[in-house]
Amino acid sequence: MFYIYGLRVKGDSEYRYIGCTSEPATRLMIHNSERRAKAKYEWMQQNRGKVEMVILSEVADRYDAAVEETRTIRKYKQGGHRLLNSQRSAAPTRDVSDETKEKMSRPRNRRMSKEQRVSELQKWLEKD
């Protein structure tokens, strides 16, 4: 299952980032360390401990999730949300074969176990 999510400051209705993940429990921690997306990283640091992830929709297929993510980004940008997303579109720009869609839907190998990721996320959330 893939989840389209939005990041916002708790209590605020404006989303600042829209993304897609298969592991929402660890994705917030990953965002906190992604320095290559400078504007998002700085916003995450300024609001450390106040950022919440809200699941906006669920999609079973990875390709369909990329299409839904793109649609959701467009919807919120048009709605006036000041998104920090650097890409205009997450969906592939050409048709993808069923074989490629199947490969894209397979879980990825991870460097840390699920337990390690959850532990790291809990440590991060406890920091002020």
Contact 76, 15 (CB under 8 A): yes
* Domain that includes residue 31, residue range: 2-126
The model's confidence at residue 128, banded by pLDDT at 50, 70 and 90, is: low
Model confidence at 31: pLDDT above 70? no
For the entire predicted model, the pTM comes to 0.67
85: pLDDT strictly greater than 80: yes
Domain count for the chain: 1
Provide, for the chain, the percentages of residues in helix, strand and coil under a 3-state DSSP scheme, each rounded to the nearest 5. 45, 15, 40
At 69 the pLDDT is: 93
pLDDT band at residue 114 under the 50/70/90 scheme:
confident
